[in-house]
Chain A
Amino acid sequence: MPLKWVFHWQPNAGTTVNSQMLTEVSQCAESINGVKEGRWKATLTFYKPMFRADQAVPAEYPRDFLGISLPEQPNRYYFIIRSQKIVLEADSSIQMIMEKLQSYKSRVSLTFEGFQYQLGDFQLRVGKVAPSASENLRGIVLEVEYLPLSSMEKSRQILDGFVEIWQEAMSKRSLPGHFMHIEPNFAEFGLSDHYTSQHTAVQYATVMAQLISAVQTAQAVRN
């Protein structure tokens, strides 16, 4: 399948993301001749272990157990434990199995949603990050998908080239922040050079870790 890079918005120190920035990013996509297509939506859920006795979570249980649903795979669900480099692809029915087991429950869900844009061989998705039950903007993500190739190594230069164009277009808008891409070590997750939705799931887990870290940093600065 085509490969993609997932970026997250890194606000400058002392600033927070707002919906005006989201509008600017969307306009940027259109300014480089992106053709607006439909909407897209992904959901990320944090799970926490349940214990019979009222006790603190023992250290051996994962605190970063995530589930992700992706729009390009409506019948699949992805589990990630980032700290242990585990990613699992399953049918959507795995969520029903988890409910029946009652060992882990959903703690919080976040939605990534917005519009997608076609630019030649590229597909862009611009999305806001918000808790599922609220409109509070917590972040902005950008997906850059290169349709002709599945090999990450072969497409690296092409994507670098596109990102340069994008960052230049963005810089004209003088927004207090920039898009960052942190490439996970996919091999540590047992994933190969050939891109799959499991790679996307791992990228989203990485983005999530970055967003949490940004929020914690902002809170530390305020305190």
Chain B
Amino acid sequence: MECVVQGIIETQHVEALEILLQGLCGVHRERLRIHESCLKSSPNLGLVASEVRVLCDLEQPEPTWIVRHIGGAMRGSGAEQISVLVRTMVESKVSKNVLRLFYALGYKLDHELLRVGFAFHFQRGASITVTVSSVNKMLKLHATDEAVPVTPGIQLVEVTAPASSENYSEVAAAVSSFCEYLAPLLHLSKPGTSTGVVPTAAAAAASLMSDAGVTT
């Protein structure tokens, strides 16, 4: 399981966000360059249609691979009262043959993306990861060197934390509480509930940059 919220921020304010995150998290950022392939089952394969994501971390000296299955979100009045999305998520590290295997099993590439940016991993009531990335599409199959932004000028911010059925409310509370610190720059909400950019972002960014001694 995991708790997730997302938001968007203008690229011009990403540097200010990084300064804020650096101060809040107390850890160094890690560079992010992930090639994400979304695979879907062929028609008629499986009792229901299925989807799986294959992520290749291109930032490592030797690319590393993960398979991720994202399941349904928690529903009901309890879920509605929580400001973060709680959903099932299972992932597995895999060796490099993973795409060949899934193609052989009858899965097809639905779409692929390249996420480029940075991430912070830290503990604050839960094990939280904040990623800030531009989402890019490839003009040719698997051509990660020729990717262009899907939304130029806008980057995606995602805050996630692993959870279990025993502790998801505490994890959700920790994520919510952390997100409040980011409120001047961006609004984070459940994926699928878009809120756009925050009107105070420009002023907040300017303030952060000047506090950090960065002249623009």
Query: A residues near B, CB below 8 A?
Result: 49-53, 55, 60-62, 65, 79, 81, 84, 86-94, 96-97, 100-104, 190, 198
Do B44 and A97 touch across chains, with their CB atoms under 8 A apart? no
Q: With A62-B105, A97-B92 as given contacts, are A51 and B48 in contact (CB-CB < 8 Å)?
A: no
- The complex places the Cα of A88 from the Cα of B48 at a distance, in Å, of 24
Q: Which of B79-87, B94-102, B121-129, B153-161 contacts A (4 or more CB under 8 A)?
A: B94-102
Residues from chain B with a CB closer than 8 A to the CB of A86 are 97, 100-101, 104
Set B44, B92, B95: member contacting A53, Cβ < 8 A: B44
Within 8 A of A (CB), among B135-184: none
Taking A61-B45, A86-B100 as known contacts, 16 extra A-B pairs with beta carbons closer than 8 A to each other, sorted by chain A number, are A49-B106, A52-B44, A52-B47, A65-B105, A79-B101, A86-B101, A87-B95, A90-B67, A96-B90, A97-B52, A101-B41, A101-B52, A102-B47, A102-B48, A103-B45, A103-B107
Query: Is the pair A51, B97 in contact by a Cβ cutoff of 8 Å?
Result: no
Q: Which 9 A-B residue pairs are closest in the complex by CB-CB distance?
A: A103-B46, A91-B92, A94-B92, A101-B50, A89-B95, A93-B92, A90-B94, A97-B69, A102-B47
A101 and B69 in contact (CB under 8 A), knowing A49-B45, A53-B44, A86-B101?
A: yes
Query: How many residue pairs between the two chains, A and B, have CB atoms under 8 Å in the bound complex?
Result: 91
Query: Do B98 and A88 touch (CB < 8 A)?
Result: yes
- Classify the secondary structure of A's interface with B: mixed
Contact between chains at A62 and B104 (CB < 8 Å):
yes
A103 touches B106 (CB 8 A): yes
Give the Cβ gap from B75 to chain A, nearest Cβ, in Å. Answer: 17
